[in-house]
Amino acid sequence: MRMFGLLGLVLALVIVGLLARRQPTATARPALPAVPGAASPAPGETPAHARAQVQQVQTQVKEALDAAAQARKMPDDN
């Protein structure tokens, strides 16, 4: 019985390893479409609107986590 558990664990690790190796190729950044008259960002630099969106999402996540932490506060039982 222990052998089946060990084989299952090894099989799971092999599957996770294969998925992890393929992950970087699956999430390659798509090329931004060229807009006439718009300056393209330098290689490795994100556009300003993308930075603003990232900051907005970070703010929303922080606010949601703060609200969840406030809702979970319980009085001390002394």
Every domain of the chain and the residues it spans = 48-72
Average pLDDT over residues 15-35: 69
Tell me what pLDDT residue 37 has: 62
Pair of tokens at residue 16: 């996770």
Is pLDDT above 60 for 25?
no
In the chain, DSSP assigns E strands to none
Q: In sequence order, which residues have a C-beta less than 8 Å from that of residue 45 and are 6 or more positions away?
A: none
Give pTM, 2 decimals.
0.35
Radius of gyration of the chain, Cα coordinates, nearest whole angstrom: 23
Is pLDDT above 70 for 28?
no
C-beta of residue 29 within 8 angstroms of C-beta of residue 45:
no
Tell me what pLDDT residue 66 has: 86
Distance of CA 65 to the CA centre of its chain: 16
Q: Where do runs of H (alpha helix) occur along 1-78?
A: 2-26, 48-72
